[in-house]
Amino acid sequence: MESTLDIFVKAIFSENMIFAYFLGMCSYLAVSKTVKTAVGLGAAVIFVLTVTVPVNYLLENYVLNEGALAWISEDYATLDLGFLSFIMFIAVVASMVQLVEMLVEKFAPALYGALGIFLPLIAVNCSILGGALFMQERQYSTIIDATAFSLGSGIGWFVAIVAIAAIREKLRYSNVPGPLRGLGITFIVTGLMGIAFMSFMGIKYGEEVAEDDAKTEVTTAKTDKELENR
Amino acid sequence: MSTEKGSEPLFSKKNKKLITDPLTDNNPVTIQVLGICSALAITVQVNQAIVMSLSVLFVIIMGNLIVSLLRNMIPSRIRIIVQLLVVASLVIIVDQVLAAFLPDLSAKLSVFVGLIITNCIIMGRLEAFAMGNKPWPSILDGLGNGLGYGAILIIVAVFRELFGSGTLMGYSIFGNSLPGEESGLYTLGYQNNNLMILPPMALIITGIIIWVQRTRNKALIEEH
């Protein structure tokens, strides 16, 4: 079983939303011209992902799955509303974005000023719906795991967009061949960054580490006991 | 656009432009930079790319048609949610059909069928075209953009499958690559380029397509 920390770290690095799955590429390419706006959008994505995925997790497990409605009445125990999941997820995402926008506007006007224009955009950012769909596909066992996954994915997305924005700011001073300017070079740089991020695939997670550590743990446990006995 | 007369022929010059423009100089992927989200992850095999393009084509045409029919009834404040719901219902149909008739491919495409909902091309066309145009031009616009998207998807997939696995649509092109029983080009020492199968190459190939396209049409070159 993967630990919560494994899920979190995996979501940031080796299963990065942008570099491994290309989710949220549209806003990633459109809003990465300066670091400042990239930070704004990245923060908004972390925020919305961390809010919507747990909500969708509850929806998935208490409404949509086969037999999930059993808590209302025994009669509903055989219902499988799984086919409705797309429409429910997107409705949750769209309405949460709206809600978050209103709350932020009311209680944190400064943050609203910073995120303002980006919040409505996020409803159609693939990474948000992608987060919900991956959560559904991977069937995380607890809501804490699902939240760790969503927070990690958000941070991974943030890292990616801020990195490309910084690179694009510097690229402005370089002599890129005409036809590659703008979009073309951004694609290629993103590809190269993706190759760099693939090196994180070497990180050992959960079981692999547990197997390797099993022996050392046994020996350390023994020495601990010996120490206590003394 | 709403001044169009009923007597206009179905395939007038303007309507033809709606189809041909997105295929070349106004391509949704390489020029408008829309819909890349779900485009690149499923270009490892040509089969997947074709199924994905057909799915998007269906959703974009039907979505454009439905939203165009409803355009005068949708209050502008909640239009995004209405559009999302229309698209989501269409995607559910596509997903169920794929799961029923092509279960293997459906499993490979996994979440990316669902992600058609947030495909920016579809939302972009609904918002920019279908909300302000009559049903027939909207259908053509959907057809053009769907084809433009599919074209890029399939070109990328052809490169990745051909050089990555040495096959096209599952049929081997360069001969048998299994160690010990090589045939065709592999006997001469040819190797598949495994890098092509990895995600980053999809981006780099798209970058190169953009490069080629903009070299041929200098008007498209950006000022940084």
Q: For residue range A183-218, what is the model confidence (pLDDT) as tens digits?
A: 888 889 999 998 888 888 777 776 666 566 655 555
Residue A209 within a domain: no
Chain B residues inside the 8 Å CB shell of A45:
none
B200 closest CA partner among A154, A199, A132, A126: A199
pLDDT band of residue A164 (cuts 50, 70, 90) is very high
Q: What is the pLDDT of residue A215?
A: 55
Residue B163 within a domain: yes
Average pLDDT of chain A?
Answer: 81
Task: Give the pLDDT mean for A96-115.
Answer: 78
Q: What is the pLDDT of residue A217?
A: 55
Q: What is the pLDDT of residue B5?
A: 45
Nearest CB among B115, B201, B207 relative to A129 is that of B115
Task: Give the pLDDT mean for A2-18.
Answer: 86
At residue B170, does pLDDT exceed 80?
no
In this complex, is the C-beta atom of B194 within 8 Å of any C-beta atom belonging to chain A?
no
CB B115 within 8 A of CB A24: no
B44 closest CA partner among B159, B208, B174, B206: B159
Residue A228 within a domain: no
d(CA B212, CA B215): 5
Residue A223 within a domain: no
Q: What is the pLDDT of residue A36?
A: 83
Residue B17 within a domain: no
Task: Give the pLDDT mean for B146-162.
Answer: 89
Residue B89 within a domain: yes
A53-67, B10-24, B117-131: segment of lowest average pLDDT: B10-24
In this complex, is the C-beta atom of B168 within 8 Å of any C-beta atom belonging to chain A?
no
- Structurally, chain A folds into a number of domains equal to 1
Instruction: Cite the beta strand spans of B36-183 per DSSP E.
Output: 167-168, 171-172
- How many Å separate Cα A30 from the centre of its chain? 19
Residue A222 within a domain: no
d(CA A210, CA A6): 12
pLDDT band of residue B90 (cuts 50, 70, 90) is very high
Collapsed DSSP state (helix, strand, coil) of residue B8: coil
- How many Å separate Cα A119 from the centre of its chain? 16
Sign of the dihedral defined by the CA atoms of residues B203, B206, B211, B214, in that order: negative
Q: What is the pLDDT of residue A155?
A: 94
At residue B3, does pLDDT exceed 70?
no
A167-176, B35-44, B116-125: segment of lowest average pLDDT: B35-44
Region of residue A139 (phi > 0: left; psi between -120 and 50: alpha; otherwise: beta): left
pLDDT band of residue A150 (cuts 50, 70, 90) is very high
- Structurally, chain B folds into a number of domains equal to 1
At residue B206, does pLDDT exceed 60?
yes
Residue A211 within a domain: no
A36 closest CA partner among A157, A143, A169: A169
Residue B170 within a domain: yes
Task: Give the pLDDT mean for B192-221.
Answer: 84
User: Min CA distance, A151 vs chain B (Å)?
Assistant: 19
Q: What is the pLDDT of residue B9?
A: 65
Residue B222 within a domain: no
User: Min CA distance, A90 vs chain B (Å)?
Assistant: 7
The answer for A 155-184 residues in CB contact with B (under 8 A) is 171-172, 176-184
Nearest CB among A24, A124, A187 relative to B123 is that of A124
At residue A6, does pLDDT exceed 80?
yes
d(CA B68, CA B138): 7
Residue B221 within a domain: no
In this complex, is the C-beta atom of B30 within 8 Å of any C-beta atom belonging to chain A?
yes
- How many Å separate Cα A216 from the centre of its chain? 34
Asked whether this complex has an ipTM greater than 0.85, the answer is: no
Number of alpha helices (DSSP H) and beta strands (DSSP E) in chain B: 9, 2
At residue B7, does pLDDT exceed 70?
no
Nearest CB among A22, A136, A137 relative to B40 is that of A22
pLDDT band of residue B6 (cuts 50, 70, 90) is very low
At residue A157, does pLDDT exceed 90?
yes
Query: Are A188 and B214 inside 8 Å of each other by CB?
Result: no
Please name the residues in contact with A159: beta carbons below 8 A apart, sequence gap of 6 or more.
Answer: A12, A16, A42
Task: Give the pLDDT mean for A155-178.
Answer: 90
Q: Which two tokens stand for residue B187?
A: 């006997």
Residue A77 within a domain: yes
Query: Are B200 and A198 inside 8 Å of each other by CB?
Result: yes
At residue A180, does pLDDT exceed 80?
yes
pLDDT band of residue B74 (cuts 50, 70, 90) is confident
Residue A171 is classified by DSSP as H
A27-31, A92-96, A203-207: segment of lowest average pLDDT: A203-207
Query: Are B85 and A90 inside 8 Å of each other by CB?
Result: yes
CB A26 within 8 A of CB B35: yes
At residue B2, does pLDDT exceed 50?
no
Residue A32 is classified by DSSP as -
At residue A151, does pLDDT exceed 90?
yes
- How many Å separate Cα A153 from the centre of its chain? 2
Domain that holds residue B38: 22-214
- How many Å separate Cα A196 from the centre of its chain? 19
Which is more confident, A210 or B204? B204
